Chains A and B, each alone.
Chain A
Amino acid sequence: MSFLLGQMRHQVNGQKELTDHKDIIKLDAPSVVKIPLIVANVSCEVYVKQGDKVKVGTKIGARNDHFYCPIYSSVSGVVKGVEKLMHPTFKQVDHVVIENDGKYEAETPLKPMDFEKATHKELEDFVKNLGLIGSGGAGFPTFVKYMMPEKIDTLIINAVECEPYITSDYKGIYENLDFFVHGVRAMYKLSGGKEALVAIKENKKDLIPILQNAFKPYEGIKVSLVPDVYPMGWERTLVYELTKKRYVKLPSEVGCIVSNATTAICLGKGLTTGMPNTQKLVTISGDGVNNPSNVLVYVGTPVKELIKACGGYKGEDIVLIAGGPMMGQPMTTDEYVINPACNAVTVLQDKEHEELACLRCGRCSDFCPSGLQPVRINNSNKLKDVDALAKLHVMDCIECGLCSYVCPSKIEVTEGVKKAKKYFALKSKKK
């Protein structure tokens, strides 16, 4: 916080106590699973057709551009076809429908690998063929970040989990500590960095000593404590907090790679077993569900099954959000399925907020972690002033939701900025 800048972050009540000390509910896959054919917003090629028999770990599709990423089946059974279904990106997306035979017969698409003996190229190919994607939200293939080891100084493992309600990273690390440590060590080697920092919020008092202990034998890997503020888990905020460096586009510009903790667990598991990630730990939380819990499910399980496992909805008017309450996508159906990038479903009771006039207090500008001026963006968008929007760098908004959160008049500031981004993108394309 400097004299000319605002705080750029804000302490947010995490609501983590709703789920963080509850047992994990384990769910069997339903009789039909549906696996989305999409990786980081790009649809994929499908390799199976109706009537094909698949096993756990059979490659059923892949994204085949420079962001190569295979998609594996999470159950064994028979392919029923391809179906369009709502996806957490709020689009209709092709899903491979598989009838589950309940046997979980498996094939290992990859050989388990001893990463300490492997070369960088071998390890990179392993990560690529494992179909490992970032679990932080966007779900980009992980190997892409690790292609330039010569530029990297610091690997940051992001176990911050700053979104309210979500505890799946925290629970996942607890449950899979060995895989986590293994995965972090492999990533550390793959990154080519001089040090690895495992970033965790300083208020997670019980997990910190466990992690410090677990990483003690390994030189170069350190547990870093970060303050309990939002959005501490955003790459830019995290890199600045740990290295005091700011970058323009990607963290690699300042020699950093940021990878999510759950991604490390998946890699650790993959290296040991040769199996891709077919299960997800998902936090179901909020005041709109009877028994908020973490649920371990197979990829392709509809969300309504998870809600059922957590005791069903509480209340009449429900807001169902794919993800956390800040950045998540509100959904109009609970038929959508858990994909490898999902980490939470937030279920809230609908509350009306009285929206007052903007008092121009500038809190949204003070707290914007991107350093933007949401109030000015909203006003410029109302005037349809494209030049002003360009000057205000509207496209740098990451839609973290903090502007709406801090707005004392409860105005939908973030939504306004999203609209401004769409308008600006449309106008600048025409030019």
Chain B
Amino acid sequence: MKLKYKFSPNYHDSISTKGIMFDLLIGLLVVFAASDIYYFIAYGSSYGIRAIGLLISSILAAVLTEIVWCLVLKKDIKKYLNSSFPWITAIILTLTVQVSISYYALIVSTIIAIFFGKLVFGGFGQNIFNPAAVGRAVVASSFTGSVVADFVSGATPTSVFANEGWFAASNSAFNTFISKFGGLTNLFLGLYPGAIGETSVLVILLVGIFLVYRKVIDYRVPVIYIGTIFITTLIIGLMNGQGIWYPIFHIFTGGAMFGAIFMLTDPVTNPTAIPGRIVFAMGAAFFTVLIRINSNLPEGVLYSILLMNILTPAIEKMFDSHQVNSEKNNLKKVLISFVVGLIIVVGMTMFKLNYKEIAINTSALFALVK
């Protein structure tokens, strides 16, 4: 018999990091399965099989990248993979691309996501950017044309509406536009082609509820993110003569729901304190709206996540305090962040409209000079 010295406490919860990651894996696979069934039924087996092929190739690319990393740095491969979870990044990345993407583009993006997004920062737990978002950014910036012609990549509601400058000329114009995709109800159900896992708000919400119940994600992050998008676009919509459909369209489209449940909640890259997570989600929502309406980019969710990842350390510092004693102070900080963000976003969308008018005036001035 030997007495061993072990630091207190010698009692541990049954919840483990592996368990959390397993729940997340199940959730992601459910989203994928639901989407794949839709592709099988609506577009035929070639589409369904292709989606599965994409998923497998991305997972393989991710795992192989980490194996090579281990070989080069002489680490124990099994132990490293066991605590690194590369497949999660691969699955999230696959779910955010369209089924028409080429294998080449997805594989290269996965490798870059794992290598530059995660490994070079020190691996799981050390990365400052969401690796899947890094991979998706590579797809968006380098491989927009790398699609296979046999598969419809087609226009998504997001891309069509983005071309219109994120405002509809009138309510009836919106109705004709959205009816092509089966209306807002169909947007909720997700029965239209788009990114593999991002289309069905219903499935994502159900999985999200499961993940909250299993304590994998903090419910505050998706609630604040979606809520802030809703409020901001409601105000912007009302100021620009859009109907109540406007904020609903914003939260149903373009991966907002997927980002809220699966990407913003990534524990590694969001703040650890609760008020920090709230401000993080809020900021991402403001950036999403701003990028959608004000920039040339088609979609805001992805870049908003990467931008907020940069701010995570600053947000952490902002809420370094005694959480109970500073509760009121923290509430103040959260509310001020909200008001300031709202004013900036609403103000800048107004500025955009003004800017167009000024542009016309200056050209008129040039004409006068001539």
Contact = CB atoms under 8 A, between A and B. Distances in A.
Q: Indicate, yes or no, whether A interacts with B.
A: yes
Interface of A: 2-6, 8, 10, 12, 164, 246, 313, 315-321, 325-334, 346, 348, 350, 353, 356-362, 365-366, 368, 370-373, 375-376, 388, 391-393, 396, 399, 401-402, 404-410, 412, 414-415
Interface in B322-337: 322-325, 327, 330-331, 334
Interface stretch (B6-14, B142-150, B185-193, B245-253): B6-14
Given A4-B330, A316-B2, A371-B325, A326 B278 contact: no
A360 B12 contact: no
A315 B6 CA distance: 16
A319 B3 CA distance: 6
Interface string B11-44: 1110111111000000000000000000000000
A365 B4 CA distance: 29
A248 B184 CA distance: 53
Nearest to A318: B3
Contact of B278 (A4, A359, A401): A4
B17 A392 contact: no
Given A3-B220, A325-B10, A376-B272, A362 B267 contact: yes
A262 B261 CA distance: 49
Contacts of A327: 8-9
Given A5-B323, A316-B1, A393-B322, A365 B10 contact: no
Contact of A408 (B13, B270, B278): B13
B323 A360 contact: no
A350 B7 CA distance: 12
A372 B126 CA distance: 22
Contacts of B17: 356, 359, 408-409
Contacts of A2: 327
Nearest to B18: A356
Interface string B312-327: 0000100011111101
B320 A388 contact: yes
15 contacts: A12-B11, A321-B8, A328-B8, A350-B6, A357-B124, A358-B125, A365-B272, A370-B322, A371-B324, A372-B323, A373-B272, A392-B322, A393-B321, A396-B322, A414-B9
A391 B267 contact: no
Q: How large is the interface on B (under 10, 10 to 19, 20 to 34, 35 or more residues)?
A: 35 or more
Highest count of chain B CB atoms <10 Å: which of A164, A319, A415: A319
Contacts of B163: none
A166 B327 CA distance: 34
Contacts of A414: 7-9
Say what secondary structure dominates the interface of chain B.
loop
Contacts of A330: 4-8, 10
A12 B125 CA distance: 27
A328 B10 CA distance: 9
B9 A357 contact: no
A327 B274 CA distance: 26
Contacts of A407: 12-13
Nearest to B79: A354
- 8 tightest A-B CB contacts, nearest first: A401-B9, A371-B324, A362-B272, A357-B125, A371-B323, A361-B267, A325-B11, A393-B322
A376 B318 CA distance: 12
Contacts of B4: 317-319, 330, 350
B275 interface: yes
Nearest to B19: A408
A380 B324 CA distance: 20
A177 B44 CA distance: 76
Contacts of A315: 1
Given A319-B4, A353-B12, A405-B12, A360 B267 contact: yes
A391 B8 contact: no
Contacts of A358: 125
A280 B198 CA distance: 63
> Is the contact region of chain A dominated by helix, strand, or loop, or is it mixed?
loop
B277 interface: yes
B16 A405 contact: no
B273 interface: yes
Contacts of B16: 408-410
A320 B3 contact: yes
B271 interface: yes
Given A318-B2, A332-B5, A372-B322, A361 B272 contact: yes
Contact of B11 (A3, A8, A326, A361): A326
A407 B5 CA distance: 20
Contacts of A356: 17-18, 83, 125
Contacts of B268: 359-360
Given A6-B274, A318-B1, A332-B3, A326 B9 contact: yes
Given A359-B20, A405-B9, 20 more contacts: A3-B220, A4-B275, A12-B11, A316-B1, A316-B2, A325-B10, A326-B11, A327-B9, A359-B268, A360-B269, A360-B272, A366-B274, A371-B323, A372-B322, A391-B320, A392-B321, A401-B11, A405-B11, A408-B13, A408-B20
A318 B2 CA distance: 6
Contacts of A373: 272-273, 320, 323
